[in-house]
């Protein structure tokens, strides 16, 4: 019976969308002189526009400012509902509680019901991210001044099928409401859902700056609907790809950039995989307020090897670059590091290669593609996070040869370094930037990241998969990198 009630409420929310006609031409509020006004006033209160139309103004805004800009939709609903009768629950609380349920991944009203994520780390990460952002958005919405609103917005909001709680269905289908209010609340929910999903790729979502532009797709964030649909399919059916997250991240930051890549630069910000900044995240991105290369145009950071499977490979052998004592592990690797963008000025569509450069004492410069570093991070086995290995088909440890290699000689080999033998190739790198460089140099197959020597035996307990194992050993992987200093020039540090 309860299920039938919710289906009726859902149908009512859709039918309510028929009542108010088509979208009017979206406009921002204007002053008597015709100047455009922001939805944020100088006192940080919501600007109560005396207009029947609604849209977000053009400009660059934080997530909390966008929440403020969307709130007039909710304010109008509260205004038209009027004062709550004595003994009745607060309309504001009921509507915002519905918002909280809509943004949760585990409620009946969820707009992203991600379930059964066991064994799927990408979906687990997105599920946790969605819930974290949802809680933040609802907290921000509850903080806003929603008392004594006086708005008269009247728009057409196509039905998006967002479910209402029983309490909200009773409220918006009751005598105090009408079809217009159903549409307004539907639009408010949908705009907040779009905001949540547009923020999903960003680990530091509170720091994101969205560029809002007018769109023929509809008011507010509605131009994001196509990208959101692609994201939603992956979230609900399979592993979430890095490619999809990057495309979502571009939607309100650098929409004119071509598809592809793993990061980009726009305005005065760079967007790159979060692990570069010391995060343990596998797929999320971070936005950082700087430019790696001075440019008025956005730059897409593309992969040096579009298909790493066909890239040049160099076989590593047992009898070269081998060292026997830990005192000499990697001491000849360079002590200067820098980032550089290559080929962006020559590309007609603003694509460039981002390189991590290491200067060695002999005077040469080793260079690694940051895109391949990102692949190496995603595809490697992080032993400190890996589930216990229960396989029994691996050969006994005594039958495996362990070889320790000099880091600088490995980094100096052409192409991607691989192994077709059954040996374990060990690389000690206590410096976080050197570990990143190794991830970009090794063919991303059978690569293990370990914090200590015990990781060698753990890696060797995994079944052999078409070749030898590479084990990178070197401390905590969550340590912070001074990425800002690296972007600005050279970071001097010993290995």
pLDDT tens by residue, 195-214 = 999 999 999 999 999 999 88
Instruction: Tell me if 146 sits within 8 A of 139, measured CB to CB.
Output: no
470 Cβ contact list (under 8 Å, min separation 6) = 417, 419, 424, 425, 427, 442, 446, 447, 448
pLDDT of residue 349: 85
Residue 64's SS3 state is helix
In this prediction, residue 1 carries a pLDDT of: 43
Please give the pLDDT value at position 212: 92
E strands within 210-344?
A: 210-212, 263-266, 269-273, 285-288, 299-301, 313-315, 336-342
Return the exposure string of 2-20: e unless at least 16 CB atoms fall within 10 Å of the residue's CB, then b.
Answer: eeeebeebbebbbebbeeb
Sequence ranges of the domains in the chain: 2-253, 309-492
pLDDT, residue 432, reads 82
Q: What is the pLDDT of residue 322?
A: 57
Write the DSSP symbol of residue 185.
H
Q: Indicate whether this model's pTM tops 0.85.
A: no
Distance, in Å, from the CA atom of 271 to the CA atom of 250, rounded to the nearest integer, reads: 9
Question: In angstroms, what is the C-alpha Rg of the chain?
Answer: 27
Which residue numbers in the chain have pLDDT < 70? 1-52, 147-151, 155, 318-335, 344-345, 360-363, 384-400, 464-465, 475-485, 487-495
pLDDT at 39: 46
pLDDT in tens, 442-452: 999 889 998 88
CA atoms within 13 A on the CB side of 333: 32
What was the pLDDT predicted at 29?
A: 32
Query: In the structure encoding, which two tokens stand for residue 20, read together?
Result: 């108010």
Tens digit of each residue's pLDDT (9 = 90 or more) over 32-54? 333 333 444 333 444 444 456 88
Kindly tell me the sign of the dihedral angle through the C-alpha atoms of 70, 75, 78, 81.
Answer: negative
Report which of 56, 72, 45 is spatially closest to residue 143, judged by C-alpha positions.
45
């Amino acid at each position: 019976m309860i299920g039938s009630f919710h289906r009726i409420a859902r149908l009512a929310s859709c039918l309510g969308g028929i009542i108010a006609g088509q979208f009017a031409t979206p406009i921002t509020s204007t002053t008597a002189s015709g100047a455009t006004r922001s939805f944020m006033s100088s006192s940080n209160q919501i600007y109560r526009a005396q207009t029947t139309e609604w849209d977000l103004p053009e400009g660059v805004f934080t997530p909390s400012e966008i929440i403020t800009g969307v709130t007039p939709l909710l304010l109008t609903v509260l205004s038209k509902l009027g004062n709550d009768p004595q003994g009745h629950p607060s309309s504001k609380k009921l509507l915002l509680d519905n918002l909280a349920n809509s943004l949760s991944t585990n409620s009946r009203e969820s707009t992203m019901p991600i379930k059964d994520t066991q064994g799927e780390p990408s979906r687990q990460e997105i599920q946790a991210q969605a819930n974290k952002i949802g809680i933040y958005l609802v907290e921000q919405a509850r903080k806003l001044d929603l008392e004594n609103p006086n708005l008269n917005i009247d728009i057409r909001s196509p039905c998006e099928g967002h479910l209402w709680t029983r309490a909200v269905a009773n409220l918006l289908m009751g005598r105090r409401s009408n079809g217009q209010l159903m549409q307004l609340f539907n639009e408010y929910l949908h705009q907040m859902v779009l905001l949540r999903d547009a923020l999903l790729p960003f680990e530091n979502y509170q720091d994101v700056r969205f560029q809002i532009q007018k769109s023929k797709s509809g008011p507010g964030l509605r131009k994001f609907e196509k990208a959101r649909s692609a994201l939603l399919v992956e979230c609900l059916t399979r592993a979430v790809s890095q490619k999809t997250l990057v495309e979502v991240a571009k939607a309100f930051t650098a929409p004119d950039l071509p598809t592809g890549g793993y990061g980009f630069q726009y305005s005065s910000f760079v967007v790159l995989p979060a692990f570069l900044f010391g995060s343990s995240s596998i797929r999320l991105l971070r936005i950082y307020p700087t430019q790696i290369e001075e440019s008025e145009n956005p730059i897409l950071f593309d992969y040096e090897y579009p298909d790493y499977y066909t890239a040049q490979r160099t076989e590593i052998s047992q009898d070269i670059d081998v060292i026997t004592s830990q005192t000499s592990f990697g001491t000849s690797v360079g002590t200067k590091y820098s980032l550089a963008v290559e080929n962006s000025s020559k590309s007609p569509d603003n694509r460039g290669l981002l390189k991590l450069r290491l200067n060695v004492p002999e005077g040469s410069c080793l260079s690694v593609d940051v895109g391949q570093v990102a692949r190496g991070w995603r595809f490697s086995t992080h032993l400190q996070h890996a589930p216990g290995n229960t396989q029994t088909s691996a050969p006994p440890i005594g039958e495996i040869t362990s070889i320790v290699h000099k880091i600088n000689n490995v980094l100096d080999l052409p192409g991607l370094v691989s192994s077709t033998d059954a040996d374990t190739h060990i690389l000690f790198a206590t410096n976080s930037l050197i570990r990143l460089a190794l991830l970009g140099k090794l063919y991303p197959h059978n690569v293990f990241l370990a914090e200590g020597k015990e990781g060698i035996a753990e890696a060797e307990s995994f079944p052999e998969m078409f070749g030898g194992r590479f084990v990178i050993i070197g401390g905590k992987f969550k340590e912070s990198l001074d990425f800002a200093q690296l972007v600005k020039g050279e970071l001097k540090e010993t290995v």
